[in-house]
């Protein structure tokens, strides 16, 4: 103790405090989700959290790391929650468990644990599962779950048959499929008029979940846990490309607002591309990272085969993050306008 | 007066805890039982002791002579007897010892004769010397000898003289109290610096959490009719860093590699230094005491005027430390250090002693892995990327740390203050810096050894060559002599030589070298002993020339014998 180095005063900050605040910021989105879509999400959150904690504990023990210190950092919970929020709410329990195990064991600990993972673990889980179980991962309730909570629980636990009626597609996916089937005969305005699926701006119910994420994200920004760069650039990228195509052919391409409030756009903008471990860290790097991820997410979601493109866009950008960071090192004090 | 203030990037706002110690006036500290005055208290050369055990000394008597330009004299803080001049522990994080003069006070506190400097009769150089002789060094940080900063860089007009009274570190209030109580002398000291540097403007920067000090300074400036601007600057650590304060007050950014801010037309002095300078110039008092904040885990926090050399533990007792005190921090909580030995004396740069306890400064939580959250980068006032530096320092990739500008780090501690993973970042950076220094030193030593070796080889080669040349010359001289004799005996054989030379180029080159050597030898010889053909009268010379001409006409000699070497490009004599 006697030779502890300065500074002796420390700000009240810790990794667990950071993670707790991220979880808190997810609450508005989760609340809207549980209220408008169905309480099944709460079950999924519990399943994912328990799995993540168990996997984290097992891996820490295997790696000979202090359990209490790392289990309490809360990072596994954040990963678990992001997995639960990106998986279909009525996905069978084992799908969420598989995804979470993949995220914690392979994407996190095999790369060296907290702070060492080159890819966002939740997005790795999503990508791995959508490639392995494309049918199950695409079964989304197109509108709120109109069944009692107990039935929802039974479907998740596999105690009740998976009813076809439950297994629609996301509003985003539904639109893509409808446009494809109609082969240019249907225009978007007509599709959006279907009030069973679509609400005021985007998917019915889902649009409010997205706004919940937006509120949580703004709170994180206000708390200075994230900076504006990546979210704004991500939204900018998404708006730019979707806006351009919408202006070019409004009948076949939905407007930017629809894209902002659909799928994983806002969850991604504030909670996934802001992951500091796997993302860029320099201000300019964050702008590039966010912008490119926004473009890619749109391209994959519209022209690709998957229901949404955020996960793959993020993983692709994770790959490029170290290089972007290296090339965007900011000028230091006293070197303004000079080559550093 | 100054409308615009600038911002520096980053910075943190730790709780200032200054009210703890700034409520009481400055108290004089009683004479300690023993004074241990280190000779080395500042950057630069270690002063040489002027006294030895048993010598009586008076208060203010010089006991250490400045060693070189970047050094300052050291004085006896009170009258008494020198007990020993020996190695004692330094107030340094290393806990190493250095040469100290130990004085036992006689209690009379008797001054040597001293008086104000006659500034009218003194040149700037005289004033510099006067300050050096009175031991004035920077009291704010590293203790750079003040006289070394009182000159503008040639060719750079001195635009701003900045007086650093920001005192941005938490807990410390010695400058605050100094300005509240002794603003007049501070302003007089600043005027001395102003006269030396002739700046366009003088700015006194004070953090705005010291309204009493600001008011006192403004009053003193007005009373003395000076045009100094007392500027409140926003309280944001480290606004008192020299480069940060320059940035805030002038908008100038001094690059990390720039050794002196004077190169950018700015010079910065600590406010306490200005006061000390005036005590020397205006009163003839050398720097033998300073104001020290005693605070932290104590009941009676406050500021004392303490003699340099007072043991820290003895001084801190004046503030009645609580029983759970377990250490002393010298300096502030952001950049200070826990002294390894609490008997260490205070020195000219000891601005604050903080009684440490775990209640006040809880032990740090264990270090977690970096999550690259970037909080450190947003806090770094030098706009570095501390987490990248950490990454490379940890991997001992020191080249990379230099690429990421590790030597621009001022070790202010902002990054470690905000780090959620509780990584002692500054520690890592100090480690990397010292490793780089050690390696540079090693490399320099190796380079020098290599240079010495190469020079030795070169010298041996050269000596060998010289020896060979000497031998060749001797041989050539011998040959030339023979040739000359032969030529004198018979001029005919000389005609054969060019033909021979043409036959074999290698042989020719050799011959040429020999001929050249001969020519040189002959020249030397001729220079040494005048020939009988020298100093001829014009008549004799004409006669000889005529004879020569007749000979050539007669075809007896195609060319003069002496001209033989002409075929080898040696000029005929």
Domain boundaries, chain A: 16-168, 185-325
ω into residue B238 within 30 of 0, thus cis?
A: yes
* Separation CA B164–CA B273 (nearest Å): 10
* Separation CA B329–CA B340 (nearest Å): 9
In whole angstroms, what separates CA A332 from the centre of its chain? Answer: 33
Please answer yes or no on whether B365 and A66 come within 8 Å at the CB atom.
Answer: no
Q: Which of residues 62-91 of A touch B (CB under 8 A)?
A: 66, 69-70, 73, 75
CA B281-B285-B288 angle, 5° bins: 130
* Separation CA B436–CA B429 (nearest Å): 10
Over its length of 573 residues, how does chain B's per-residue pLDDT go in tens digits?
Answer: 455 899 999 999 999 999 999 999 999 999 999 999 999 887 777 888 999 899 999 999 999 998 888 889 999 999 999 999 999 988 888 778 889 999 999 999 999 998 898 888 899 999 999 999 999 999 987 788 999 988 888 888 899 999 999 999 999 999 999 999 999 999 999 999 999 999 999 999 999 999 999 999 999 999 999 999 999 999 999 999 999 999 999 999 988 777 788 888 999 999 999 999 999 999 999 999 999 999 999 999 999 999 999 999 999 999 999 999 999 999 999 999 999 888 999 999 999 999 999 999 988 888 999 999 999 999 999 999 999 999 999 999 998 999 899 999 999 999 999 999 999 999 999 999 999 999 889 999 999 999 999 999 999 999 999 999 999 989 888 888 888 888 777 765 545 555 444 456 667 777 777 787 778 777 776 666 544 555 566 777 777 777 777 766 665 544 444 444 433 444 444
Nearest chain B residue to A73, by CA: B368
Q: Which of A1, A3, A8, A56 to mutate to test the interface with B (most CBs of B within 10 A)?
A: A8
The DSSP letter of residue B408 is: G
- Backbone φ, ψ for residue B555 (5° rounding): 75, 15
What domains lie within chain B, and their CATH numbers? Answer: 27-356 (3.40.50.11540), 369-461 (no CATH)
Please answer yes or no on whether A114 and B369 come within 8 Å at the CB atom.
Answer: yes
* Separation CA B190–CA B202 (nearest Å): 9
- B202-215 burial, b for 16+ CB within 10 Å, e for fewer? bbbbbbebbeebbe
User: Taking the model in full, what pTM does it have?
Assistant: 0.81
Please answer yes or no on whether B420 and A7 come within 8 Å at the CB atom.
Answer: no
What pLDDT is recorded for position B68? Answer: 84
What is the number of H-type helices and E-type strands within chain A?
16, 0
Q: ipTM of this predicted complex?
A: 0.88
Chains A and B: how many Cβ contacts under 8 Å?
Answer: 147
* Separation CA B24–CA B129 (nearest Å): 36
Grouping H, G, I as helix, E, B as strand and the rest as coil, residue B472 is helix
Q: Which of B372, B395, B429 to mutate to test the interface with A (most CBs of A within 10 A)?
A: B372
List Cβ<8 Å contacts ≥24 apart for A322-326.
A322/A118, A324/A280, A324/A282, A324/A285, A324/A288, A324/A289, A325/A280, A325/A281, A325/A282, A325/A285
Give A5's contacts in chain B (Cβ within 8 Å).
Answer: 337, 424, 426-427, 430
* Separation CA A103–CA A119 (nearest Å): 10
Please answer yes or no on whether A6 and B426 come within 8 Å at the CB atom.
Answer: yes
Rg (CA), chain A: 21
ω into residue A7 within 30 of 0, thus cis?
A: yes
CA atoms within 13 A on the CB side of A107: 27
* Separation CA B285–CA B75 (nearest Å): 10
């Amino acid at each position: 103790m006697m030779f502890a180095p300065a500074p002796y005063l420390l700000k009240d900050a810790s990794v667990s405090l950071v993670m707790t605040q991220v979880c808190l910021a997810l609450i508005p989105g989760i609340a809207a989700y549980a209220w408008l879509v169905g309480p099944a999400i709460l079950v999924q959150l519990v399943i994912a959290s328990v799995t993540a904690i168990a996997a984290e504990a097992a891996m820490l023990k295997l790696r000979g790391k202090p359990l209490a210190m790392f289990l309490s950092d809360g990072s596994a919970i954040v990963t678990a929650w992001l997995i639960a929020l990106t998986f279909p709410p009525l996905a069978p329990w084992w799908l969420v468990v598989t995804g979470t195990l993949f995220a914690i064991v392979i994407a996190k600990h095999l790369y060296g644990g907290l702070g060492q993972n080159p890819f966002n673990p939740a997005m790795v889980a999503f990508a791995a599962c959508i490639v392995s179980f494309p049918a199950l991962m695409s079964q989304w309730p197109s509108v709120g779950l109109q069944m009692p909570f107990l039935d929802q629980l039974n479907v998740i636990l596999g105690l009740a048959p998976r009813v076809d009626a439950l297994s629609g597609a996301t509003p985003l996916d539904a639109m893509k499929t409808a446009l494809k089937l109609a082969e240019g005969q249907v225009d978007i305005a007509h599709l959006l008029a279907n009030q069973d699926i679509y609400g005021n701006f985007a998917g019915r119910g889902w649009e409010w979940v997205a706004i919940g994420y937006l509120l949580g994200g703004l709170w994180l920004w206000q708390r200075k846990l994230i900076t504006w760069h990546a979210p704004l650039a991500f939204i900018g990228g998404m708006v730019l490309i979707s806006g351009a195509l919408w202006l070019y052919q409004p009948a076949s391409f939905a407007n930017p607002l629809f894209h902002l409030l659909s799928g994983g756009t806002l969850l991604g903008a504030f909670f996934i591309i802001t992951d500091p471990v796997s993302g860029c860290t320099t201000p300019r790097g964050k702008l590039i990272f966010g912008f490119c991820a926004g473009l890619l997410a749109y391209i994959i979601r519209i022209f690709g085969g998957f229901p949404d493109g955020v996960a793959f866009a993020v993983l692709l950008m994770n790959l490029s993050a170290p290089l972007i960071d290296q090339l965007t090192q900011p000028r230091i004090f006293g070197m303004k306008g000079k080559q550093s | 007066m100054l409308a615009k203030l600038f911002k520096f990037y980053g910075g943190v706002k730790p709780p200032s805890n200054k009210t703890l110690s700034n409520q009481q006036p400055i108290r004089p500290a009683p004479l300690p039982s023993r004074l241990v005055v280190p000779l080395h208290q500042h950057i630069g050369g270690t002063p040489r002791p002027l006294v030895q055990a048993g010598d009586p000394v008076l208060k203010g008597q010089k006991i250490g002579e400045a060693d070189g330009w970047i050094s300052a004299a050291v004085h006896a803080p009170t009258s008494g007897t020198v007990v020993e001049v020996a190695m004692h522990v330094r107030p340094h994080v290393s806990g190493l010892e250095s040469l100290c003069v130990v004085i036992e006070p006689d209690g009379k506190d008797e001054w040597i004769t001293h008086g104000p400097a006659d500034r009218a009769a003194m040149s700037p150089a005289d004033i510099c010397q006067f300050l050096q002789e009175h031991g004035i060094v920077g009291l704010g940080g590293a203790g750079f000898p003040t006289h070394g900063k009182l000159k503008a860089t040639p060719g750079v007009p001195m635009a701003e003289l900045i007086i650093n009274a920001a005192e941005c570190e938490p807990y410390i209030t010695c400058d605050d109290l100094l300005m509240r109580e002794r603003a007049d002398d501070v302003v007089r000291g600043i005027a001395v610096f102003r006269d030396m540097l002739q700046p366009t403007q003088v700015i006194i920067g004070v953090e705005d959490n010291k309204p009493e000090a600001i008011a006192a300074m403004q009053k003193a400036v007005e009373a003395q009719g000076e045009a100094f601007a007392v500027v409140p600057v926003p309280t944001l650590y480290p606004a008192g860093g020299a480069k940060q304060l320059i940035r805030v007050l002038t908008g100038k950014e001094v690059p990390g590699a720039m050794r002196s801010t004077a190169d950018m037309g700015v010079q910065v002095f600590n406010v306490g230094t200005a006061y000390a300078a005036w005590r020397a110039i205006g009163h003839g008092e050398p720097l033998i005491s300073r104001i020290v904040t005693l605070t932290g885990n104590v009941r009676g926090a406050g500021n004392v005027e303490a003699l340099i050399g007072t043991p820290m533990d003895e001084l801190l007792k004046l503030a009645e430390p609580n029983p759970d005190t377990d250490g002393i921090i010298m300096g502030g909580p952001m950049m200070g250090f826990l002294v390894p030995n609490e008997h260490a004396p205070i020195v000219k740069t000891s601005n604050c002693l903080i009684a440490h306890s775990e209640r006040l400064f809880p032990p740090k939580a264990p270090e977690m892995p970096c999550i690259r959250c970037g909080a450190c980068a947003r806090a770094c006032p030098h706009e570095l990327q501390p987490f990248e530096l950490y990454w490379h320092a940890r991997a001992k990739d020191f080249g990379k740390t230099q690429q990421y500008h590790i030597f621009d780090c001022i070790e202010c501690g902002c990054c470690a203050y905000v780090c959620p993973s509780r990584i002692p970042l500054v520690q890592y950076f100090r480690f990397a810096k010292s490793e780089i220094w050690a390696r540079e030193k090693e490399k320099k030593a190796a380079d020098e050894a290599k240079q010495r070796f190469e020079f030795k080889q070169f010298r041996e080669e050269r000596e060998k060559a010289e020896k060979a040349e000497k031998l060749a010359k001797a041989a050539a001289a011998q040959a030339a002599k023979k040739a000359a004799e032969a030529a004198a005996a018979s001029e005919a054989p000389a005609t054969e030589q060019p033909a021979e030379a043409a036959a074999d180029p290698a042989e020719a080159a050799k011959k040429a070298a020999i001929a050249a050597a001969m020519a040189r030898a002959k020249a030397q010889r001729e220079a040494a002993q005048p020939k009988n053909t020298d100093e001829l009268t014009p008549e004799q010379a004409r006669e000889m020339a005529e004879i020569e001409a007749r000979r050539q006409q007669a075809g007896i000699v195609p060319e003069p014998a002496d001209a033989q070497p002409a075929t080898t490009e040696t000029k005929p004599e």
